[in-house]
């Protein structure tokens, strides 16, 4: 069993979007490329029969996180010096670390590729199953995530709130 043509197209969209998101000069273009990468990933989730995760990816990442990133870019936009590089002074070290990490990951995948499971029957999981699991076996993690989201909501508002004059 080999990989299908849609997989190649979707992974190309994802990887090119991710690459553009971290290399482009204009930050708004970066946010747009990031959205393309998120959309490609959502499509890959749908390819893997993970409908709920795919649509959650679209709703949360494309609908919320990408919009949040665009808001942050527009709020912090100032006269960016066109002459300076977009990359940090220590970019060679960062690139070397990333290349080393990828080498290790790729080596590990290639070493175990022959022992990975080939093809199991396609999982038939409905949203009803996921809801039942969330309400029975995973009820405690669900409550903790609800608490975490509430704390993050309040924390983000407090951190980004205008400070009073004179306390700065």
Partner 1 sequence: MTPLAAYLMVAAILFAIGLAGALTRRNAILVLIGIELMLNAANLNLVAFWHYGPNPGALTGMMFAIFSIAVAAAEAAVGLGLVISIYRHTRTTDLDQINRMKG
Helical (H) or strand (E) element with 70: helix 66-75
Please list, in sequence order, all residues whose beta carbon lies within 8 angstroms of the beta carbon of residue 12, skipping any fewer than 6 positions away. none
Smallest gap from Cβ 18 to partner 1, in A, equals 5
Tell me how far, at minimum, the Cβ of 35 lies from partner 1, in Å: 11
DSSP state letter for 60: I
DSSP 167: -
Q: Is 159 in the site for partner 1 (CB under 8 A)?
A: yes
Distance CA 106, CA 109 (A): 5
| 102-131: contacts with partner 1 (CB under 8 A) | 102, 105-106, 109-110, 113, 116-120, 123, 125, 129-130
Total length of the chain: 168
Size of the site for partner 1 (CB under 8 A): 88
Q: Compute the least distance from the CB of residue 82 to partner 1, in Å.
A: 13
Round to whole Å and give the CA distance between 160 and 157.
5
Restricted to residues 2-31, the positions that interact with partner 1 (CB under 8 A) are: 2-3, 7, 11, 14-15, 18-19, 21-23, 27, 30-31
Residue 25 Cβ vs partner 1, minimum distance, rounded to whole Å: 10
Q: Work out which of 6, 9, 94, 143 binds partner 1, going by CB under 8 A.
A: 94
Q: Which of 5, 82, 83, 88 binds partner 1 (CB under 8 A)?
A: 88
Q: Give, as ranges, the residues between 56 and 75 that touch partner 1 (CB under 8 A).
A: 56-57, 60-61, 64-65, 68-69, 71-73, 75
Least distance in angstroms from the C-beta of 83 to partner 1: 13
For residues 55 and 39, the answer to whether their CB atoms sit within 8 Å is no
**Using rule CB under 8 A, residue 135 touches partner 1:** no
Q: Which two tokens stand for residue 101?
A: 């990490």
Helix (H) or strand (E) holding 42: helix 27-47
Contact status: 165 vs partner 1 (CB under 8 A):
no
The CA distance from 94 to 23, in Å, is 14
């Amino acid at each position: 069993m080999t990989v299908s043509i849609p997989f190649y197209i979707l992974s190309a969209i994802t990887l090119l979007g991710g690459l553009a998101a971290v290399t482009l000069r204009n930050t708004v273009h970066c946010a747009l490329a990031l959205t393309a990468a998120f959309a490609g990933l959502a499509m890959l989730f749908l390819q893997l029969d993970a409908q709920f995760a795919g649509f959650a990816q679209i709703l949360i990442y494309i609908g919320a996180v990408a919009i949040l990133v665009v808001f942050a870019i527009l709020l912090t936009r100032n006269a960016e010096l066109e002459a300076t590089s977009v990359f940090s002074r220590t970019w060679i070290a960062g690139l070397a670390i990333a290349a080393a990490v990828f080498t290790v990951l790729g080596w590990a995948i290639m070493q175990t590729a022959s022992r990975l499971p080939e093809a199991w029957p396609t999982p038939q999981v409905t949203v009803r199953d996921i809801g039942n699991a969330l309400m029975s076996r995973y009820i405690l993690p669900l409550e903790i995530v609800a608490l975490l989201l509430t704390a993050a909501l309040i924390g983000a508002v407090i951190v980004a709130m205008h400070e009073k004059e004179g306390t700065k």
